[in-house]
Amino acid sequence: MWLSNARKALNKTFSILVIFCLASFGCSKEEKEINVYAASSLTEAISAVIKNYEEIYEVKTKVVFAGSNHLAAQLRDGADADVFITANADLINDLDFQEVLEGFAYNSLIAVKPVEFINKIFEPNDLNRDENLIAICSEGVPCGDTTKAKFGNVKADTYEMSVKAVLARVASMEVDLGIVYLTDLQNEPKVTAAWPQEITCPCVSYAAASKGEKGNDFIDFLNSGAAKEIFSTYGFSL
């Protein structure tokens, strides 16, 4: 009898400890989650930064990639983000963020063609010839505004809301030419430079905004040597 009662008491104590540990773990897990909204042109680099950050700080990160304007619209509509990383710092102005890091990385534009178009020879004037199918970003989004500033008025056949959409059209050979970021050229083997081009500005300057301790810690990491090395590896200028 005594042994039976002792076992029951032990099992009850163990059950209470398990419930307490699970509850504590759940709270700890919630505290270590961070929501990041990032411009789609940063997909590869930010994914690598996040992997590094999670390994070092044991933080779980939820990330949403899309065009900067689209992300800003979601945030204005109430989406919750600890960090917003954008290719247009002006989009941060009417959002509720506490800290801002500007110019932590830069990107430039380049005209590309499908790598399969080996026998198609292009030159700058081809951006204004009707016989070529061309994809560029729409005006009003960072890649579109920078495209106009660098290449002037391009006779495009399709206007996209993100540079990744332009890249996808070129990579799938839906168009002859597209204007994308230099980092897209480096990270997408299905496209190549349309002709030899000097890497010049106007460029896109990236900015990050944060709120709360978790968000502020993340943008501090964005400005660290480890993060800068990752951005450099993926072709961004610092």
pLDDT tens digit string along 59-83?
999 999 999 999 999 999 999 999 9
Distance CA 200, CA 211 (A): 34
Intervals of the chain under pLDDT 70? 1-31
Give the class (CATH, top level) of 32-106+205-233. alpha beta
Tell me what pLDDT residue 29 has: 42
DSSP state of 118: T
Q: What is the pLDDT of residue 199?
A: 87
The pLDDT value recorded for residue 31 is 55
> What does the domain layout of the chain look like in residue ranges?
32-106+205-233, 109-193
In CATH, the architecture of 109-193 is 3-Layer(aba) Sandwich (3.40)
In this prediction, residue 200 carries a pLDDT of 85
For residue range 167-204, list pLDDT tens digits in order: 999 999 999 999 999 999 998 999 999 999 988 888 99
Strands lying side by side in the sheet with 109-114 = 158-160, 134-137, 177-181, 109-114, 191-193
Please name which of 233, 190, 173, 212 lies closest in space to residue 46, comparing C-alpha atoms: 233
Domains 32-106+205-233 and 109-193 share a fold: yes
pLDDT at 201: 87
pTM higher than 0.95: no
Q: Which of 159, 157, 192 is nearest to 175 (CA)?
A: 157
Lay out the sheet containing 83-86: strands in order across.
Answer: 60-66, 33-39, 83-86, 204-210, 99-107
Is the distance from CB of 199 to CB of 182 less than 8 angstroms? Answer: yes
Residue 22 is predicted with a pLDDT of 39
